[in-house]
Amino acid sequence: MIPTKTIRDLIIKHSVLEKDLASGEIDKKLFAEKSKEYSDVNEIIGNAKKYISFENDKKELEKILIESSGDDDLKNMAEQELSELQLEHETNEKKLKLFLLPKDEADKKNAIIEIRAGTGGLEASLFASDLFKMYEKVSHKKKWTLELISISRSDAGGLKEVIASIKGTNIYSTLKYESGVHRVQRVPDTETQGRVHTSAATVAVLPEAEEVDLKINDIDLRIDVFRAGGPGGQSVNTTDSAVRITHIPTGISVSQQDEKSQHKNKAKGMKILRARLYELERSRIDQERSQDRKTKIGTGDRSERIRTYNFPQGRVTDHRINLTLHRLEEFLEGEAFDEMIESLTLHAQEDSLSNLK
């Protein structure tokens, strides 16, 4: 049960924000902040007012029940209304609890997604490529902007590693549950005996940090430049355009060589470094999240999986919530992706609600 004072304070806050916005006496920056806050509270204010009025409404209906002992129609109507009122109250309480849960400030941020081939050799690199194509299709359907930061291809035409930034609305809150080891079970094109092989790829989703989120001192960075080489670097290896940035205090290192310009490679490298350091700091502050992240990211070994893509049976299973969708092809096309994400989000919210004191 939510304390009545908490809900009354929410209603008062809504009223104060409404008056402030209507006064015309606040500057533009504050107006934008208060407008966003008002918009958020406004979505739940109806539930809050009904939650407060519940006890009085309930007493009124109970009074009618007592007074209608000789009128079956009136009694049945009051009983029906009381039942509906109770259900509405439970719904309002759940919505209010979700609204009052501590917010993850990173949820509204853009994201950087890193996909790496894990166990399984060339087949793992092909699967990593399939996962990247899936996120490309999801981004296209949602009208997100996906920008390639770094890519390393395998001999089979798959991907050893790919890093991209995704921009849009509430990107991190949508994609954060994708972090972990994804396992695939299928018959590779090179398999002549028709045997099913198991491979894995890791996905890491990081909130994209802005400079205001994290201060990185130049003195803490070691920047090395070198000549790009290997797949992807062949057209840019005539100058020392590749950049390796090392954050000395943490030892985190990022290499970037996809661009012909050293300046552009440095900018992309800093974007990745900033995201990794931001997530490291968030993990340090929230030890529970740190443990959760370690479980999700794993090592790329197929035994540490969060999701399995089984091609022979046409199903995708998320092992964290025991959800299986028998629509694998649709899922990889981005069609059934939202159903999985909504289930994961709901499960996480229910876990948070159960932990509320």
Q: Where do the domains of the chain lie?
A: 4-100, 107-209+290-354, 218-285
Closest CA to 209 of 107, 104, 111, 290: 111
- In Å, what is the CA distance from 352 to each residue of 11, 47, 94, 178, 213? 24, 20, 12, 19, 25
CATH number belonging to domain 218-285: 3.30.160.20
- Residue 200: per-residue pLDDT: 94
CA distance 258 to 241: 9
In terms of Cα–Cα distance, which of 186, 219, 223, 222 is closest to 201? Answer: 186
Write out the E strands in 187-344: 197-207, 221-226, 242-247, 252-256, 307-310, 315-318, 323-325
Is it true that domain 107-209+290-354 has CATH number 3.20.20.140? no
246: which 2 tokens? 């090392």
Closest CA to 45 of 16, 7, 102, 17: 7
Q: What is the pLDDT of residues 4-62, one digit of tens each?
A: 899 999 999 999 999 999 988 888 888 888 998 899 899 999 999 999 999 999 999 99
Q: What is the pLDDT of residues 118-139, one digit of tens each?
A: 988 899 999 999 999 999 999 9
Neighbours of 105 (CB within 10 A): 11
Maximum mean pLDDT: which of 44-53, 94-103, 216-225: 44-53
pLDDT at 225: 87
- Domains 107-209+290-354 and 218-285 agree in fold: no
Condensed to tens digits (0 to 9), the pLDDT of residues 295-312 reads: 343 334 444 689 999 999
pTM of the predicted protein model: 0.70
Whether the pLDDT of residue 95 is over 80: the answer is yes
Supply the pLDDT for residue 168: 92
Q: Contact 179/247 with Cβ under 8 angstroms?
A: no
